Amino acid sequence: MSFLRNRAGAILIGAIGLAIFAFLLNDAISFGTPFWAESQTEVGEVAGETIGIEEFRAKVEQNEANFRQQMGGNLNPQMSSYIVENTWNQTISEILLGKEVKRLGLEVGRTELNDMVSGKNPHPQVVQTFGNPQTGQIDRSQLNSFLSNLSTQPANSPIRSQWEQFLVSIKQDRLFQKYTNLVKNSIYVTSLEAREEHQNRNKLADFSYVNLEYASIPDNQVKLEDKDYQEYYDEHKNLFKNREETRTFEYVVFDASPTKADSAAIRTNIGRIAAEFRNTTNDSLFVSVNADTKAPISYMKKGQLDPALDSLVFSAPVGSVVGPVYSNNAFRVAKVLDVRMSPDSVQASHILINPATEGGLPKAKAKADSIANLIRNGASFAELATKFGTDASKDKGGDLGTFGRGAMIPAFEEAVFNGKPGDLKVVTSQFGVHVVRVVRQVGSSRVARVAVVDKAVASSNETQQAAYSKASSFLSTADDDKAFDEQVKKQKLNKLVAENVTASQSMVAGLDNPRELIRWAFQADQGDVSDRVFELENRYVVAKLTDVREKGILPLAKVKKDIEPMVRNLVKGRMLSERLSKAASGASNIQQVAQKVGKQAQPAQNIVFANPIIPGLGQENKVVGTVFGLQPRKLSNPIEGESGVFVVAVNSFSNPAPLTNTITLKEQIAESLRQRAQGSVFEVLKEKAEITDNRFRFF
């Protein structure tokens, strides 16, 4: 009781504090995000401004959509990683340049914005959006029609929202352009700088040198001490600046590639499929059910099929099945459904009706039939295409130009290649309902209508399970740093190394799509072994994190192994410099120095300061720099260069004619600086900003 009375105050305060903490903790968990989890929704932070995952992911998805529209097809992991990286740099640029623009008070007023849209010099994005593809100029009638239609839209309509975003985009682009122009206009080259550049480019030096190569001293005769490493490190610290954090990990691969037994099983299966293929009455359904790639059935010219099938198909009778053949890691069989003569290319026009805007497919078909009847009764196809078309061809009267087989979707292609010039047809495809006119057909070749079934040679479940079992067994015994290496040695496995991997990297040599592995590496601690087996296509991987190199100047301990060859040359340089100093002592010319060290003096002619290359040796900045600071016939002190230690003596200089008019050269230098200005400014802003990159948590 005495103990409690004496300490009642402290106990009471502690109890109250604990209660308050519990209350706040419960509040955070119940009603908000705990402080330690806030960063889990942040892709990063740039100059104090956080970037949320939802905002960033929306940008990535938009850029992916743009990429698909421009390039077509699906995105592979490398393309996706490239888009994420570009989006990240775009976001950093917007934030940093936006802060600079605000700091300088740059603005784009309403009058200027209107001029960018409908003035005499419209913004390039406006020209691209409302331009005439034939003239490359803005189509004023199209622009005015759009603006007129926009004014009738409600305030919350999607089209108004998209237009507002478009205006923000071109306004931001103009602001950044103003900022860049400010930087470019601040560049000034003086006459003194121009004359110096003229000298550096045109003054010629003839000199002789004696060179003692570092390789002349065997490595085993050089003892390296800690002070040698420290000296080299202190003199070259800027070389060890890590622009972003990197990680190095070792890994072991357990291969699950298809075996000979797997290939034989696929070969047997495709043989069974070929027998069934001959008897099927529904070829499209059969291909859809049995083929891996499910290619549409269409007419093809000789040379368009897989080479292994091509000659077989065009020499087989209609109704026969050819194959199986093996190529590109797959077995294929093909059924010849028809052979005929067909045009090589077709010129056609169309009017595309979109069922989504017409209230469904039946209404779209009815509208297409009505348009076709108007054309048959003499109406202008081009005028109706401009009025009713819903794709880009409407601006050209529906003209699709001339195209060969394979350029269009199968339903459309079949209609125009199997018709005749002048035909008018209504065709339905996955894009909508087309009113199609065949304008003309060019050439004639033999084509075959072919259905192809393919089966890729893939690993069986047994093969994959065997590889996974080996990987799992290895992981269970290699659960720490030391055990990992012991098991690699014991099991005679091949240990691979991924050095200095960045958080956003998408490739590791020999591994397909290693993003999950890289994400693990950036969440692990040095010495950790992966907590699971990574499945990467036909490979199972177990990894160990061996090195973490943080952003900034790397400590000596991190680069000691990397700089060992240079430190060894540093020590050799001291030894060779001492030898050359003794040889130069009392010598009156370069030949005497060469004689004392048992070498011949070598000539170097017509060397310029701006291009410090010595023929036969390569780039020697220190040597050439010293040459242009020497008096003729005067011996230099020993120079520790790239390939060895030098003593040089200038024979003569050839000075260029004086630069009487500096204007042209000043402009050339300034223009070169201006071209680099925008990229350089962005790099400087990035360098000075505090940037946290958490992308590896999400991508």
What integer is the mean pLDDT of 232-259?
93
SS in 3 state form for 354-418?
Answer: CHHHHCCHHHHHHHHHHHHHHHHCCCCHHHHHHHHCCCHHHHHCCEEEEEECCCCCHHHHHHHHC
**What CA–CA distance (Å, rounded) separates 597 from 584?**
10
By the 10 Å C-beta count (0-12 exposed, 13-18 middle, 19+ buried), 638 is classed as buried
**pLDDT surpasses 50 at 82:** yes
Return the CATH number of 260-341, one of 3.10.50.40, 3.20.20.140, 3.40.50.300, 3.40.1110.10.
3.10.50.40
CATH number for region 244-257+460-550: 3.10.50.40
Three-state SS string across 616-652, please? CCEECHHHHHHHCCCCCCCECCCEECCCEEEEEEEEE
Section 425-442 average pLDDT: 91
Digit-coded pLDDT (tens) for 617-644? 999 999 999 999 999 999 999 999 999 9
Helix (H, G, I), strand (E, B) or coil at 314: coil
Who contacts 233 (Cβ-Cβ below 8 Å, separation ≥6)? Answer: 240, 556, 559, 563
With cut-offs at 50, 70 and 90, classify the pLDDT of residue 2. Answer: very low
H or E element at residue 498:
strand 495-502
- Does 353 have pLDDT greater than 80? yes
**How deeply is 21 buried, as exposed, middle or buried, from its count of CB atoms within 10 A (0-12, 13-18, 19+)?**
exposed
- Model confidence at 106: pLDDT above 70: yes
**Residue 131 corresponds to which tokens in the numbers above?**
């331009």
What six digits make up the tokens of 539? 């490979």
- Classified as helix, coil or strand, 294 is coil
Give the CA distances from residue 106 to residues 180, 210, 615, in Å, rounded to whole numbers and listed in that order: 12, 59, 52
Residue at 475: amino acid letter: L
pLDDT tens digits along 153-181: 887 888 888 888 889 889 988 999 999 99
* CA–CA dist 4, 318 (Å, integer): 103
Residues 325-360: b if buried by 16+ CB within 10 A, e if exposed:
beeeebbbbbbbeebeebbebbbbbbbbbebeebee
CATH of 346-431, one of 2.40.50.140, 2.40.10.340, 1.10.287.110, 3.10.50.40: 3.10.50.40
Place of tokens 């348009």: 371
Q: What pLDDT does residue 39 have?
A: 57
What are 380-421's pLDDT values in tens digits?
999 999 888 888 888 888 999 998 887 888 888 888 988 889
How much is the pLDDT for 311? Answer: 87
pTM above the 0.75 mark? no
Least confident span in 206-215, 288-297, 402-411:
402-411
Mean pLDDT highest for which of 39-48, 550-559, 645-654? Answer: 645-654
Nearest Cα to 210, choosing from 643, 660, 682, 655?
643
What CA–CA distance (Å, rounded) separates 273 from 183?
A: 69
Predicted confidence (pLDDT) at residue 133 exceeds the cutoff of 80: no
Residue 305 identity: L
- State the residue for tokens 């079949």: 414
SS3 content of the chain, % helix, strand, coil (to 5): 50, 20, 30
Q: Which of 330, 346, 337 is nearest to 294 (CA)?
A: 330
- Check if the beta carbon of residue 325 is closer than 8 Å to that of residue 331: yes
Q: What is the model's pLDDT at position 489?
A: 94
Pairing of strands 602-607, 204-213: antiparallel
Alpha-carbon span 650 to 668, nearest angstrom: 31
Chain position carrying tokens 């017409």: 358
